[in-house]
Amino acid sequence: MTAFFLAVYQTPTDAEAFDRHYREIHIPLASRLPGLRRYTVSRDMTALRGEACHMVAELEWDTMDALRAAFASPAGRATAADAAHLQELAPLHSMVFTAQDASAPDPATAAPGL
């Protein structure tokens, strides 16, 4: 099952400094994470509820085990250390999760024979 790491950055005090650091330092570090399938960064969001955030980063692996192994690697430790620095520039909410296609039947609850 596909595994994701999601980072939601709130509005930084100095958006220009945050964006420059993220672009020049953090993206190159995170791009070296082993097994990383996809790395997207989203901006210009409109909040439907609550406050808008500055940026959302979504990183994708084949499995949760692959994600965990990536963050346990030297590249993962370097990326986490830099993320701690970024958190000094902008408050951060992060999470890991697995995703399943909502239109596909859940194998645990599917009727026998389907």
Do the domain assignments include residue 114?
Answer: no
Residue 105: what pLDDT? 65
Do the domain assignments include residue 104?
Answer: no
- Which two structure tokens, joined as six digits, stand for 15? 């958006």
Lowest mean pLDDT among 53-57, 72-76, 96-100: 96-100
Do the domain assignments include residue 108?
Answer: no
What is the end-to-end Cα distance of the chain in Å, rounded? 20
Average pLDDT value for the chain: 90
User: What CA–CA distance (Å, rounded) separates 87 from 9?
Assistant: 8
Helix (H, G, I), strand (E, B) or coil at 83: helix
Provide the sign of the torsion angle of the four alpha carbons 29, 79, 36, 91, taken in this order. Answer: negative
Which CATH number goes with the domain that contains 21? 3.30.70.100
Residue 70: what pLDDT? 98
Residue 99: what pLDDT? 86
Q: What is the pLDDT of residues 7-60, one digit of tens each?
A: 999 999 999 999 999 999 999 999 999 999 999 999 988 888 888 899 999 999
Residue 100: what pLDDT? 79
Domain residues for the domain of 83 are: 3-98
Q: How many domains does the chain have?
A: 1
